[in-house]
Amino acid sequence: MTTAFLSQLTDRGFVHDVTPGFADRLQQGPVTGYVGFDPTADSLHVGNLVPVMGLAWLQRFGGTPIILVGGGTGMVGDPSGKRSERPMLTVEQIDHNASRIRGQLEQFLSFEGQNAARVRNNADWLRPLGLMEFLRDVGKHFTINYMLQKDSVKSRMETGISYTEFTYMLVQAFDFWHLWKHERCELQMGGSDQWGNITAGSELVSRREGAQVHGLVFPLLTTASGGKFGKSEQGNVWLDPAKTSPYRFYQFWLNTEDADADRLLRFFTFLPLEEIAAIVAEHSADPGKRVAQRRLAEELTTRVHGAEVTKRVIDASRLLFGGTNLAQAGAEVLGVLAGEVPTTALAAAELEGLPIADALVKAGLAASKNEARRGLTQNGFSLNGAPVAADRVLGAGDVLGGGFVLLQKGKRSYALLDCR
């Protein structure tokens, strides 16, 4: 392992800060590095992907990644970047959430081979740890003045910080020492808000063992317009398809602002920088085609949800936005849409001879038959992607291959009749 790992991260904009001497250490051979994930939810979200990509690049350059699940630290709560104390989870909730993380990381990391990724849960060493032992082996190495200088503490002095959260950096420092002692882990990575916790860990290793370990932190992402990255109208964008459907996941990336596309391609894909530059150049020549966003959305959705799901999602997206013949749509693609637009079950017998105005009311696209008729006379509605007359009645011939009828109001409002 050479400094190529650090150069790759630097060229992609990952490096916000790094401890002195890390480049020299890389010249000596591969390193083992870790990132911690506190299990505050049973899924990772896209905001977690920056450190995940850091681990993935570490592995690609010969290093060994450790995923540290915070089954112990999750009982304390990290004050970094928070204006108030986090709600405490039960041990059962923490253990359940922790068990869900590895499966999502398998899409980014290899758990086989010489430098296979490892999963560790700090509950294994923190929960049995006695208070007197902790104070003797960790607390004595840190002064109150040292801890008060850390941003995670300073930012909370006005609003208040509990003793529990005040000691969080020492608990995380103990993690770094434990992983160095038992796994020879020499690197901790995380968001820039973790710098104080990470350097506390390197300080503890230095004082207890006389060894040098390193920290590398990534910038905290915001959008070009200044908003918090990783949020949608529905809240966090999760990797779990039960929390954020693959369709909405794809749309999140597809809706990236032009000013963010280059940076997000460098952060969240493994595409060579030369290829990214070519994609961005093609996008700049005709922004309306959204070439960069489409490639970003396809790469991320494929990695998280798989190629087959992504193909169905792309086909469903094209159905809504006019790029695919509805008559050729299969049941799986229409099934994707059924999870994203209002869908009303309708028996086949009930569909036969149903006036289009009645269908629009049943689907919720019109409040009344009179409203539906007015809209129909103004060409405000469509049936299976085509304009529809006000006197039209529906029948079996209108049912698409998947057993659905697609109704549309204007350019953006859709509904399905499920006639399966």
Among the listed ranges 216-225, 259-268, 355-364, 386-395, which one has the minimum average pLDDT value?
A: 216-225
Question: Roughly what angle, to the nearest 10 degrees, separates helices 291-305 and 258-268?
Answer: 40
Q: Can you give the pLDDT at residue 251? A: 93
Which residue has 């689907």 as its token pair?
A: 363
pLDDT range class, residue 295, cuts 50, 70, 90: very high
Q: Can you give the pLDDT at residue 276? A: 98
What residues contact residue 339 under an 8 Å CB cut-off, 6+ apart? 245, 247
Which residue has 């700049």 as its token pair?
A: 284
Residue 329 pLDDT more than 60?
A: yes
Share of the chain above pLDDT 90, in %: 60
The Cα–Cα gap between 382 and 148 comes to: 64
Residue 84 pLDDT more than 70?
A: no
Q: Are 217 and 64 in contact (CB under 8 A)?
A: no
Q: Can you give the pLDDT at residue 71? A: 82
pLDDT range class, residue 323, cuts 50, 70, 90: low
Among the listed ranges 17-21, 113-117, 325-329, 333-337, which one has the minimum average pLDDT value?
A: 325-329
Helix (H), strand (E) at residue 68: strand 64-69
Q: Are 73 and 38 in contact (CB under 8 A)?
A: yes
Average pLDDT of the chain is: 88
pLDDT range class, residue 1, cuts 50, 70, 90: low
DSSP state string for 30-48: --EEEEEE--SSSS-BGGG
Residue 291 pLDDT more than 80?
A: yes
Q: Can you give the pLDDT at residue 317? A: 86
- State the Rg of the chain over Cα: 26
Q: Please name each of the domains of the chain with its CATH number.
A: 4-218 (3.40.50.620), 231-305 (1.10.240.10), 343-418 (3.10.290.10)
Q: Which of 191, 210, 136, 202 is nearest to 169 (CA)?
A: 202
Mean of the pLDDT values across residues 128-143?
A: 89
Residue 313 identity (one-letter amino acid): V
Tell which phi-psi region holds residue 339, choosing left (phi > 0), alpha (psi between -120 and 50) or beta: alpha
Q: What is the pLDDT of residues 185-216, one digit of tens each?
A: 999 999 998 999 999 999 999 999 999 999 99
Up-side HSE of residue 75: CA atoms within 13 Å toward CB? 13
Q: Can you give the pLDDT at residue 106? A: 87
Share of the chain above pLDDT 70, in %: 94
Name the pTM for this structure: 0.84
